[in-house]
Amino acid sequence: MPVYIRKGPLEIPNYEEQDWIKDEEGDYFLKDPDQIFDSLPQPFRMINKLVNLLFDRAWEIIEEREAAKEVAIIKIQPTVYLPTHRFQLSSVPNCIAICKSYVFVGLSKGLRVFSTLFSYSRVCSWDSIKTEIVSIWATEIGNEVFVAAVDEMGVVRLFYFYKEFLFLIKAVNEMEDISKQTTCLNLQISPKGNFIAILLQGKTN
């Protein structure tokens, strides 16, 4: 294996343009002999060093900017919007729906309707000890509101809200014989309340 020995004093050469040819001829010291065919001649070695230096500096600037952004995000406090009014409920609500100036709340023992116009209080209710409302929909029909509610047994009930009174129209799929009762899987009401779509599943399906 050939041995490469550096000629001249052990000094760091100054890489200036007038020294490129001289350095190419004999002053360049190759530490690893296996890289004799991989080393770049001048001026490409100088260009390679400048590109690497530029890349390192650019990466440092990017990291500094990202760190500054993270600090700025931590310092910025999000805007907190406090509620203007609150409704007092006797039990935990399961679902809510909003239509016109009213809030319809489904509870474990029926339905509650709250007004958002002036008093922010309950205007009416539909109470049922054995009925727990889990889903509720409300849509405007002229000056009235059409309400559909589903309980924990999958029974759909239709209501009519008019002049702060809530009227039960009918229970769609309620049966005296529970073994024959169908369960509501999904329910949708058209925007103007012209029609309602109910997906039902029977016990034998």
Residue 184 and residue 149 share a domain: yes
Digit-coded pLDDT (tens) for 13-30: 555 555 554 444 455 555
CB 185 within 8 A of CB 199: yes
Residue 103 and residue 26 share a domain: no
Residue 114 and residue 56 share a domain: no
Report the mean per-residue pLDDT for the chain. Answer: 80
CB 38 within 8 A of CB 48: no
Residue 138 and residue 43 share a domain: no
Number of helices followed by number of strands (H, E) in the chain: 2, 10
Looking at the domain assignment, is residue 136 inside a domain? yes
Query: What is the span of the domain harbouring residue 23?
Result: 17-75
What pLDDT does 28 receive? 52
Q: How far apart are CA 5 and CA 7, in angstroms?
A: 6
Residue 71 and residue 142 share a domain: no
Closest CA to 112 of 93, 86, 129, 130: 93
What pLDDT does 111 receive? 92
Digit-coded pLDDT (tens) for 161-182: 998 899 999 998 888 887 888 8
Digit-coded pLDDT (tens) for 178-191: 788 888 888 988 88
Q: In this structure, what token pair is assigned to residue 55? A: 């890349």
